[in-house]
Amino acid sequence: MHKHLKNLIIFSALCFNTSFAIAQIQTFDHLKVDSLTFVETKAIINKIPNDKFEKRIYKHNNTELPYRLLFPKNYDIKKKYPVVITFHNSTRIGNDNEKQLEPLSKIWLRPEIYENYNCFVIAPQFSERSSNYLANENGLLLSKPGDKINLVLDLLNEMEAKYTNIDQSKIYLVGYSMGASTAQNLLSLAPQKFAAVVSIAAVPDFSNLNAMKRKSILLIHGQKDVENPYKGSAELFEQLKQSKKITFKTFTELNHDTINIPLLLSAEIPEWLFKQHK
């Protein structure tokens, strides 16, 4: 790994402080990402071939949902495996079944992650917004599920029927930006299906707080994010203050574009997810 990137990961691991509420965990990381680190990190991820992700299309009535499917390494039908569903941001909307493999979904292809975190990874692609935003009476942006989000639930049900070795206690949702909002929307719609959510730079969903309080949630947001304002995640964290399972990680120096960079070459997301279960 490039020396500059090693220093980034070491600095990120050391340069934060943690405060504990009654049942929550909140951390503050003061990492800064310069333009060289940004470019080099994206280049490393983008060079990883996508071919291990099989191209598939889920069809329901007259509607199609393109998706990519990654099988666990050395897949064994006799073993139980978790499922990770990754959701793309709004710049990846389409139907080419390619663009949804953004850097956050490709971390599962990194050799050390693919080797050590065996799971199914599903990466659906939406042809329209999967989550829509509107402001409440206080001007806070809220997210609402898009029209096609239920197709993911249908696809998951089909997968569970076909691959009976899916560990139904370990089905996870991961997303960035619109994808993170989609993950929250889906958790609110069907909390019984999912064990945990990693939500990065989301516009929050407050529609089912009672269910969210019982789920493992990792909120990650940059304090300098003006596209999907940081105050949304901060407010969700406050609303979930009775939760025993929520962690809120703030990157004080990162914005909407740089928030993913510290996560792409580390094992932080897989490591946290694989500790969670229903």
Share of the chain above pLDDT 70, in %: 92
- 124 lies in a domain? yes
Tell me, what CATH number does 116's domain have? 3.40.50.1820
Q: What is the pLDDT of residues 209-236, one digit of tens each?
A: 999 999 999 999 999 999 999 999 999 9
Domain count, the chain: 1
Q: What is the pLDDT of residues 155-189, one digit of tens each?
A: 999 999 999 999 999 999 999 999 999 999 999 99
- 229 lies in a domain? yes
Alpha carbons 220 and 230: distance in angstroms, whole number:
9
Q: Reduced to 3 states, what is the DSSP secondary structure of residue 17?
A: strand
- The length of the chain is 278
- 10 lies in a domain? yes
Alpha carbons 190 and 207: distance in angstroms, whole number:
12
Has residue 84 got a pLDDT over 90?
yes
Has residue 244 got a pLDDT over 90?
no
Q: What angle do CA 219, 220, 225 make, to 5 degrees?
A: 125
- 44 lies in a domain? yes
Q: What is the pLDDT of residues 32-66, one digit of tens each?
A: 999 999 999 999 999 999 999 999 999 998 899 99
pLDDT of 20 reads 41
pLDDT of 115 reads 98
- Out of 11-25, 116-130, 154-168, pick the least confident: 11-25
Q: What is the pLDDT of residues 248-257, one digit of tens each?
A: 999 999 999 9
pLDDT of 24 reads 82
Provide the 10 A C-beta neighbour count for residue 33: 21
Rounded to the nearest integer, the mean pLDDT of the chain is 93
Q: What is the pTM of this model?
A: 0.92
Residue 242: pLDDT band (50, 70, 90) is confident
pLDDT of 23 reads 61
pLDDT of 6 reads 46
pLDDT of 194 reads 98
Q: CB of 31 within 8 A of CB of 254? A: yes
- 110 lies in a domain? yes
**DSSP letter (8 states) at residue 257:** T
- 194 lies in a domain? yes
Residue 16: pLDDT band (50, 70, 90) is very low
- 278 lies in a domain? no
Domain range spanning residue 53? 3-273
Alpha carbons 68 and 56: distance in angstroms, whole number:
6
Has residue 100 got a pLDDT over 50?
yes
